[in-house]
Amino acid sequence: MKRILVFIVLYAISSHAGAANSFFNQPQRLCSALIANGLHTSGWRSNKAMPGEWSCMTKFVPFGTAGANGMENNISFYVNGTSSNQAKDIRIKININNASERSQAFSRLNSATKSLFKAISQPIPPELSGAISQQVPITISAPFGRIELIFKPGQMDSTKVVLIITHSLPAKKTNYSAQQTTSLTIRP
């Protein structure tokens, strides 16, 4: 059984992140960002399981055909925060239970990622779309923060796309050949 987890995590850290940050000050709107992709959340609510936390999430939405383990691939969407009026973390997650449909899963991730960027009125970096399509890790710093597509091999292979919203990042470019990760920073 081969599973791949893909997360998109957005951290709204700065009050100077412009239009993107103003969107994160509207967590209920953010929770509705991927309805067109079939990802309906439960709405922005206090998280009873974790006092002081707020969240909204979807159930796993299956797609494709069942793999050897009898389960279909699936996608889910989460928004988390620590206050009623500020989201800090967003995740789009795919589980690949049918390895023969790996490309379809990454295509679905790319589509949801593009929809999320559109919802926050930011262009998706072409490097991110390319990395998702090619299924290779990457780190990109953008005017609103940092974006990462991270692969973690193991018993359950996982892949994460991480977006961190900040207002100031140092300018640098680093290549990590062992992880095939590229870091590109663009100052706002």
pLDDT of residue 161: 63
Residue 140 domain flag: no
Write phi, then psi, for 91 (nearest 5 degrees): -135, 135
Cα–Cα distances in angstroms (integers) from residue 22 to residues 39, 76, 90, 143, 151, in the given order: 22, 24, 15, 15, 30
38-91 residue pLDDT tens? 999 999 999 999 999 999 999 999 999 998 888 898 898 989 888 999 888 788
Number of domains in the chain: 1
Torsion of CA 122, 33, 23, 7, to 10 degrees: -70
Q: Counting Cβ atoms within 10 Å, is residue 104 exposed (0-12), middle (13-18) or buried (19+)?
A: middle
Residue 175 domain flag: no
pLDDT of residue 187: 28
pLDDT of residue 10: 40
Write phi, then psi, for 187 (nearest 5 degrees): -75, 140
Residue 177 domain flag: no
Residue 80 domain flag: yes
Q: For residue 12, which of 22, 4, 24 has the smallest C-alpha distance?
A: 24
Per mean pLDDT, which of 50-59, 134-143, 166-175 is the most reliable? 50-59
Question: Do residues 25 and 16 touch, judged by C-beta distance below 8 A?
Answer: no
By residue range, what is the domain housing residue 68? Answer: 5-135+145-168
Amino acid identity, position 126: P
Compute the distance between CA of residue 4 and CA of residue 150 in angstroms, rounded to an integer.
Answer: 11
Compute the distance between CA of residue 108 and CA of residue 121 in angstroms, rounded to an integer.
Answer: 20
Lowest mean per-residue pLDDT among 4-13, 23-32, 92-101, 154-163:
4-13
Residue 134 above 80 pLDDT? yes
Residue 86 domain flag: yes
Residue 117 domain flag: yes
Residue 185 domain flag: no
pLDDT of residue 115: 94
pTM: 0.75
